[in-house]
Amino acid sequence: MPVLRVVILWHQHQPYYKDLVTGEYRLPWVRLHALKDYYGMVKLLDEFPEVHQTFNLVPSLITQIQDYANGSAQDPFFRVASRPANDLTPEERRFALQYLFQANPDHLIRRYPRYAELWDRFQGSGASAEKAERYFQQHDFTDLQVLSQLAWFDEFFLQEPEVTELIRKGRGYSRSDQEFVVGHQRELIGKVLPAHAEAAKRGGIEISTSPFYHPILPLVCDTNAGAASTPGLPLPQNRFCQPDDAREQLQRGLDLHEKVFGVRPRGVWPSEGSVSEEVLGIAASLGVNWMATDEGVLSRTLGMSFMRDGHGRLPDVSAEKLYTIHRYENAQTRMHLMQEAAAHLVQNIKDSAQVLTSRGRDAVMPIILDGENAWEYYPESGREFLRRFYDALQNDHSIEALTVSEAIERHRDINVLHSLTPGSWINANFNVWIGAPEDNKSWDYLYHARNFYAQASQNCSEEHRKLALEELLIAEGSDWNWWYGPEHHSANDREFDELYRKHLSNVYQALGATPPDYLAQPIIGGTVQPTFSPQTHYIHPRIDGELVRYFEWMGAAHYTADRRSGSMHGKVFLLESVYAGIDEQNIYGRLDFADHVPEGEFEIVVNLESWAEGSSRPRRSLRLNAEAANGTISRWTVADSGESFPHEQATVIMARNFEFKVPLAWLYALPRASSDSSSPAATKLRLRFSIWQNKLPVDALPVDGWMELQLLPEEELSALAQ
């Protein structure tokens, strides 16, 4: 009898949310999914011993689970959920309202009537934490803190007597209830990895791995691979080409797996199913036996289409090529390849394979799925759905539900490939991660950081060198570019952008350098609507940093950021608005702080550039750097490529706000009537303000781009305003 071998691979992955410098987690999703998904997905198979599956655990996910299990994770979301409600500060109360409702409304929130009641109250205030806070009393916050955690408990954990009793209570939770819920989480998360290890030991599952920080390996090897899969794709200005990093990422993944589970993994899910011949060669040299990717990559490699009919079935020839195991062979490289058929095959697996089985041929049907993010869209985490599916697999004697390695060992009709078109599981190309302006900018920033590491790492301590390399490897991960470009967006876009630039900034800081100023500004664009008014008159303000004199700055260009779209936890908003303008001889600038002058030590950086019309580069670039402590400036410089200018010709001061005056001559930029005729006259100035703490950028204005001033006589500025 022909056999249909169903190979299910669950991919478990979350981005690396930990900031290595501060040790703080910027988002809570590893903890929440470790509570809700990972344990139960494996434990469920105890009920179906004949259903064997493959679970892919990304190494950086494993390390984060270990952090939570051993109690070392610093999670601000968890801290707010843990704090006694009467001890919450106003800021923490608003934070709780902003973030403790981040759950599926239908299947997580409304499963608990009191949680739904609080959710409706929050929504009734326009989903605004500031507006809703007045309608939440201390007991409301305690109930929110408890239920927002219980909502993420795994179905197996919900069956524990103490947890069941809390659910039955429903509302009016006490401090001891809260302490139990938050204290029990560490124990529950600690069960995740042992459950996988036990299932693998008894042969019920195979555990595969991925490159450590989930990078797109073909692009790490060479960003030109983007154009190999999509000819004509716009590429970054700088070609990133680090195959040694790709090998390091894969080697680390294999090593961690062996350390945690006691055996070397045989297989790898390359991040996002991204493969190339170079990647297969690296993996084979490290002893990897199989990798998995998408049918689109196979389609392009074979030069044939897998077009299905209205019932989801393939023609005979296409089915023979798809529903089997493939082995790539080229020189010394041998690699078994599993192709992802399609998620919708859950309901029609047998129909899809009938083309082969009806002719007495064995078939292999891989189903490769996200093992965590989907389940909050199902009642009770989809367990009833999975039970019905697994029961059908186990009781159908024409089907074998196998791990990938078991399928490779049993299947004899293997298709040999001698070439491979590079691609991923999304459209068989890499366009999600490269090609769009935001994507390419992120690769250029990574290129510069990687080059700086190569130059500077030999002159620092081993500890700092290792930290800088770790930050680079994290920045190579696929998750950052997933949110850049036009394809994907979420409520956390800016969180990912901020964290990516933080990792790159940490590279420079670890090597004893100041990060580039451009890392102070978001890569992601178009999500903030600032208020900007151009200069309309010359200004002549007194520079004293004291009480703002409204009329002295009237006519200046003015920029005020809209912070409504920047609710990221951990993002500090220190700058409220900036003003700038010129007169016949000087440029003036003013920075107003959001609330008050920041405490402790910090630096204010003002980048100034002069530009001539039609030029492709600035005529001159200056960097004003002011070091502050205890509310006053202790030292300041204005420099161009290391050349500093004399203090007596400029003024830089801070009291209630920050103000400066700098001669236009320093920028080779005077209004048209008196400009330097030896080279094209500058026609505009550009400014950007940023504030730095511990040599890292924490806030900037403008949020995107630059603030521009036109170098015109005053009467022409006035005419433009009319």
Residues 589-645 pLDDT 10s: 999 888 788 888 999 999 999 998 888 889 999 999 999 998 889 999 999 876 788
Q: Which residue has the higher pLDDT, 342 or 448?
A: 448
Q: Which residue has the higher pLDDT, 689 or 536?
A: 689
531-721 in CATH: which number?
A: 2.60.40
Give 134's pLDDT tier (boundaries 50, 70, 90). Answer: very high
Give 489's pLDDT tier (boundaries 50, 70, 90). Answer: low
Q: Own/partner pairs for 668-671, CB < 8 Å, 24+ apart?
A: 668/610, 668/619, 668/620, 669/587, 669/610, 669/619, 669/620, 669/711, 670/584, 670/585, 670/711, 671/582, 671/584, 671/711, 671/712, 671/713
State the pLDDT at residue 345: 40
Average pLDDT, integer, range 204-216: 97
Average pLDDT, integer, range 333-349: 60
State the pLDDT at residue 311: 66
pLDDT exceeds 50 at position 347: no
State the pLDDT at residue 570: 45
pLDDT, tens digit, 9 for 90 and up, residues 442-454? 999 999 999 999 9
**Average confidence score pLDDT of the chain:** 88
Strand partners, 206: 54
Q: Which of 18-27, 95-104, 124-133, 331-340 has the lowest mean pLDDT?
A: 331-340
Two tokens, residue 171: 């509302």
Two tokens, residue 502: 């933080």
Two tokens, residue 591: 């920075």
Average pLDDT, integer, range 664-683: 69
Q: Which of 50-64, 74-88, 477-491, 589-603 has the lowest mean pLDDT?
A: 477-491
pLDDT, tens digit, 9 for 90 and up, residues 75-104? 999 999 999 999 999 999 999 998 999 898
Q: Which residue has the higher pLDDT, 189 or 489?
A: 189
pLDDT, tens digit, 9 for 90 and up, residues 288-325? 999 999 888 988 888 888 777 766 677 888 888 888 88
Considering only CA atoms, which of 386, 364, 363 is closest in space to residue 374? 386
Query: How far apart, in whole angstroms, are the C-alpha atoms of residue 362 and residue 441?
Result: 48
| Domain positions in the chain | 4-15+214-226+263-375+399-417, 29-189, 437-520, 531-721
Specify which of 51-60, 354-363, 374-383, 647-656 reaches the highest per-range mean pLDDT. 51-60
Task: Report, at the CATH architecture level, how domain 4-15+214-226+263-375+399-417 is classified.
Answer: Alpha-Beta Barrel (3.20)
Measured on CA atoms in the order 458, 641, 605, 484, is the torsion positive or negative?
negative
Give 722's pLDDT tier (boundaries 50, 70, 90). Answer: low
Omega prior to 702 cis, within 30 of 0: yes
Query: How far apart, in whole angstroms, are the C-alpha atoms of residue 541 and residue 263?
Result: 71
pLDDT exceeds 90 at position 49: yes
Q: Is 464 exposed, middle or buried (0-12, 13-18, 19+ CB in 10 A)?
A: middle
Considering only CA atoms, which of 440, 435, 501 is closest in space to residue 474? 501
Average pLDDT, integer, range 123-138: 91
pLDDT, tens digit, 9 for 90 and up, residues 526-584? 544 556 788 888 999 989 877 666 668 888 888 886 654 443 444 567 888 899 999 99
Average pLDDT, integer, range 187-206: 97
State the pLDDT at residue 602: 93
pLDDT exceeds 60 at position 683: yes
In the chain, pLDDT over 90 holds for what percent of residues?
58
Two tokens, residue 544: 């004293």
504-528 burial, b at 16+ Cβ within 10 Å, e below that, comes to bbbbbbbbeebbebbbbbbbbeeeb
Element housing 714 (H / E): helix 714-721
- Tell me if 239 sits within 8 A of 296, measured CB to CB: no
Q: Which residue has the higher pLDDT, 499 or 244?
A: 244
Considering only CA atoms, which of 576, 574, 568 is closest in space to residue 599? 574
SS3 percent helix, strand, coil of the chain, rounded to 5, is 45, 20, 35
State the pLDDT at residue 342: 28
Q: How many helices (H) and strands (E) does the chain have?
A: 25, 23
Domain 437-520 homologous superfamily, CATH: Families 57/38 glycoside transferase, middle domain (1.20.1430.10)
Average pLDDT, integer, range 118-125: 93
Query: How far apart, in whole angstroms, are the C-alpha atoms of residue 472 and residue 456?
Result: 14
State the pLDDT at residue 252: 97
Give 168's pLDDT tier (boundaries 50, 70, 90). Answer: very high
Cα distances from 11 to residues 144, 151, 203, 450, in angstroms, run 31, 23, 18, 29
pLDDT, tens digit, 9 for 90 and up, residues 456-469? 999 999 999 999 99
pLDDT, tens digit, 9 for 90 and up, residues 506-522? 999 999 999 999 998 88
Residues near 698 by Cβ (< 8 Å), separated by ≥ 6? 572, 574, 602, 691, 692
pLDDT, tens digit, 9 for 90 and up, residues 396-437? 888 999 999 999 999 888 889 899 999 998 888 999 899 999
Query: How far apart, in whole angstroms, are the C-alpha atoms of residue 435 and residue 439?
Result: 6
pLDDT exceeds 50 at position 360: yes
Instruction: Tell me the CB-side half-sphere exposure of residue 13, using CA atoms within 13 A.
Output: 23
